[in-house]
């Protein structure tokens, strides 16, 4: 929890904030109060207006209506630099560091420490060390390139940049999305240190357990409006929060699954035999049957994602083999895997799976254009009909094939990635963190989509950092620890404590 106590004066007050874009009212009268030294959690489904609101706060958008005060004074930043200078720093989920610059250069980017036009390198490095030490990471070398740091290190550099501007309010957008469990603990330690110093934090996350642990108060947005303000983060029932976010109760997000013996007589769509990639995993063997969902559970760095990538052909194993429908797949070749009926939804869908400036239709059909071409001609009518059919089948909203995919919510973008592979004859889908950055309501929809695909006979192999997601969605679970599968079994026979114990210690409770 933050250091918010009692009822101190409001640091940030937003009243009646309206923001219009062509054809849409993204914000429709939003109210928000944030006090010094508190962690104020901002919740809402994708498309609820959270991103637009923080861009207004950060100076990236100008509101069309409404009033903002910061520190008791009217606040209307014309640019992100103006907002930063006023004491508001925003750390986006996709960190805006310059990879080729040093840590110091990133920390002071935009307000470099110089004398007579020459950068004072040693003073900058000293000050960067002080800021990093304040965040508990004095071991990060100031002159290391930011692009060479792990995700947690890059996030610390972004926080140091915020502190270099003497920020009084820091907005954190999904800060734990790419972090391992111990790194999240360290993030929370840093947040608690900041709030003890009176810094306010606006914390955006889809993980309700995190809200309970680190938050003080909660504001909920829905359809561009504030539907609840100043809820206590620890004691507000989950069902109440979910109902406010979605407009409906979600008691159980996961769809029903077949009986454990339902797959006994089904053919194997995937078999992995003795797969080894030195430094990542060793002697990994398992199978996925038609219509079965198999989940890999393990810590970041356990080898789970590398196993997925090797199965798909993005990495080349030094030993072992991958078979689809009983036939070996050429190793190290994603193209060969795709031709044999495999599809991948990668963890970083925006950078690895989607052309954000292209239409929904173009993103769906890009992997199967040969399906619509003959003698050098593309059958646009057939392509269009298939795209519209998938939009309807997966309930992609809005149902517009010409809409740029960048304008869709995270959940609908993920549906577009899945639809791409369904335009062909898929035998197996490989899903890496399929609900990363997706809100609770859209997650339930995605779970239903994945289960429906399995019901069609498609095998599914998935990785998720969230153990409840693996247990709730998968039929069978493989627990990966230090590059080896330490347990395999029916998901119904496991609970979260048992899986965590297997992940950490290698044995069930």
What pLDDT does 200 receive? 96
Give the three-state DSSP class for 426.
Answer: coil
pLDDT, position 118? 40
Residue 94's pLDDT band, with cuts at 50, 70 and 90, is low
* CA separation for the pair 266, 275 (Å, rounded): 23
Average pLDDT over residues 96-105: 86
CB 37 within 8 A of CB 14: no
Specify burial of residue 160 (Cβ count, 10 A radius: 0-12, 13-18, 19+): buried
d(CA 102, CA 274): 41
Tens digits of per-residue pLDDT, 305-328?
A: 899 999 999 999 999 999 999 999
| DSSP one-letter string for 15-49 | EEEEEEETTEEEEEEEEEEE-TT-EEEEE--TTSS
Do β-strands 200-204 and 169-173 pair in parallel, antiparallel, or remain unpaired? Answer: parallel
The pLDDT tens digits of the residues spanning 232-283 come to 999 998 778 877 876 655 444 688 889 888 998 999 999 999 999 998 999 9
9 and 55 within one domain: yes
Containing structural domain, residue 159: 100-166
Do 278 and 335 have their domain in common? Answer: yes
Task: Indicate whether 81 and 119 sit together in one domain.
Answer: no
Residue 398: asked if its preceding bond is cis (omega within 30°), the reply is: yes
End-to-end CA distance of the chain: 29
What's the pLDDT at 183? 78
Give CA–CA dist 479/502, Å, rounded.
7
Average pLDDT over residues 485-507: 82
CA dihedral over 285, 291, 297, 302, signed as positive or negative:
positive
Name the 3-class secondary structure at 316: coil
Q: For 166-179, how does the pLDDT look when each residue is reduced to its tens digit (9 = 90+)?
A: 889 999 888 887 67
Average confidence score pLDDT of the chain = 86
- Angle, helix 151-164 to helix 181-196, in steps of 10 degrees: 10
297 part of a folded domain = yes
**120 occurs within a structural domain:** yes
Domain match, 488 and 450 both: yes
Its pTM surpasses 0.75: no
Q: How far apart are CA 217 and CA 207, in angstroms?
A: 15
Residue 508 covered by a domain: yes
What are the backbone dihedrals phi and psi of residue 167, each rounded to the nearest 5 degrees, phi first?
-65, 135
Domain count, the chain: 4
The answer to whether residue 95 sits within a structural domain is no
Q: Can you list the alpha helix ranges (DSSP code H) found in 395-486?
A: 410-422, 440-455, 467-473
Residues 338, 341, 347: CA angle, nearest 5 degrees: 60
**How many CA atoms within 13 Å lie on the side-chain side of 225?**
6
Q: Are 398 and 430 in a shared domain?
A: no
Positive or negative, the Cα torsion across 139, 143, 146, 150?
A: negative
Tell me the pLDDT band of 74, cut-offs 50, 70 and 90. Answer: very high
- Give the residue, 379 or 399, on which the prediction is more confident: 399
> Tens digit of pLDDT for each residue in 29-59?
999 999 999 999 999 876 788 989 999 999 9
Residues 153 and 291 in one domain: no
| H-only helix segments in 135-247 | 151-164, 181-196, 208-214, 238-246
Last residue of a domain, one of 146, 166, 186: 166
Domain boundary among 140, 166, 192: 166
For residue 416, list its beta bridge partners: none
- The CA distance from 35 to 4, in Å, is 8
473, 443 Cβ separation under 8 angstroms: no
Listed in sequence order, the DSSP H helices in 249-323 are 304-312
Give the domain CATH number at 224.
Answer: 3.40.50.300
- Is residue 348, in this structure, part of any structural domain at all? no
Percentage of residues of the chain with pLDDT beyond 70: 90
Q: Given 394, 419, 444, which residue is the final one in a domain? A: 419
Residue 143 lies in a domain: yes
Residue 383 lies in a domain: yes
């Amino acid at each position: 929890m933050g250091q918010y106590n009692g009822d101190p004066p409001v640091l940030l007050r937003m009243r009646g904030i309206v923001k219009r874009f062509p054809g849409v009212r993204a914000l429709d009268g939003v109210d928000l109060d944030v006090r010094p030294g508190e962690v104020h959690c901002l919740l809402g489904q994708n498309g609820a207006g959270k991103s637009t609101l923080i861009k207004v706060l950060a100076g990236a958008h100008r509101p069309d209506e409404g009033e903002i005060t910061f520190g008791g004074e009217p606040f209307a930043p014309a640019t992100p630099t103006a907002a930063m200078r006023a004491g508001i720093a925003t750390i986006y989920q996709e960190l805006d560091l310059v990879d080729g610059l040093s840590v110091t250069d990133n920390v002071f980017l935009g307000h470099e420490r110089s004398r007579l036009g020459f950068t004072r390198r040693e003073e900058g490095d000293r000050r960067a060390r002080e800021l990093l030490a304040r965040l508990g990471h004095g071991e990060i070398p100031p002159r290391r390139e930011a692009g060479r740091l792990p995700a947690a290190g890059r996030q610390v550099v972004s926080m140091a940049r915020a502190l270099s501007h003497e920020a009084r309010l820091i907005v954190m957008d999904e800060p734990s999305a790419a972090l391992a469990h111990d790194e999240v603990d360290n993030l929370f330690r840093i947040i608690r240190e900041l709030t003890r110093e009176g810094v306010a934090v606006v914390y955006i996350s889809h993980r309700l357990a995190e809200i309970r642990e680190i938050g003080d108060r909660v504001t909920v947005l829905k359809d561009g409006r504030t539907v609840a303000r100043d809820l206590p983060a620890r004691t507000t029932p989950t069902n109440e929060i979910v109902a406010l976010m979605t407009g409906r109760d979600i008691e159980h997000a996961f769809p029903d699954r077949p009986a454990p013996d339902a797959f006994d007589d089904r053919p194997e769509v995937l078999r992995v035999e003795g797969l080894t990639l030195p430094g990542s995993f060793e002697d990994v063997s398992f199978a996925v049957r038609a219509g079965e969902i198999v989940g890999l559970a393990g810590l970041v760095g356990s080898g789970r994602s590398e196993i997925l990538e090797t199965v798909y052909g993005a990495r080349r194993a030094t030993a072992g083999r991958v078979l689809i429908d009983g036939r070996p797949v050429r190793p190290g070749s994603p193209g060969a895997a795709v031709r044999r009926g495999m599809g991948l939804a990668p963890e970083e869908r925006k950078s690895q799976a989607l052309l954000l400036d292209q239409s929904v239709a173009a993103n769906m059909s890009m992997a199967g254009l040969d399906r619509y071409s003959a003698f050098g001609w593309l059958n646009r009518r057939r392509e269009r009909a298939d795209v519209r059919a998938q939009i309807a089948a997966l309930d992609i909203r809005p149902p517009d094939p010409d809409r740029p995919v960048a304008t869709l919510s995270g959940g609908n973008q993920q549906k577009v990635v899945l639809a791409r592979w369904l335009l062909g004859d898929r035998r197996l889908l490989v899903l890496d963190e399929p609900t990363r950055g997706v809100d609770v309501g859209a997650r339930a929809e995605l779970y239903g989509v994945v289960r429906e695909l399995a019901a069609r006979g498609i095998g599914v192999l998935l990785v998720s950092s969230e153990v409840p997601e693996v247990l709730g969605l998968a039929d069978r679970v493989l627990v990966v620890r230090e590059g080896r599968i330490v347990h395999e079994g029916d998901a119904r026979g496991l609970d979260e404590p048992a899986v965590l114990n297997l992940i950490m210690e290698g044995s069930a409770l």
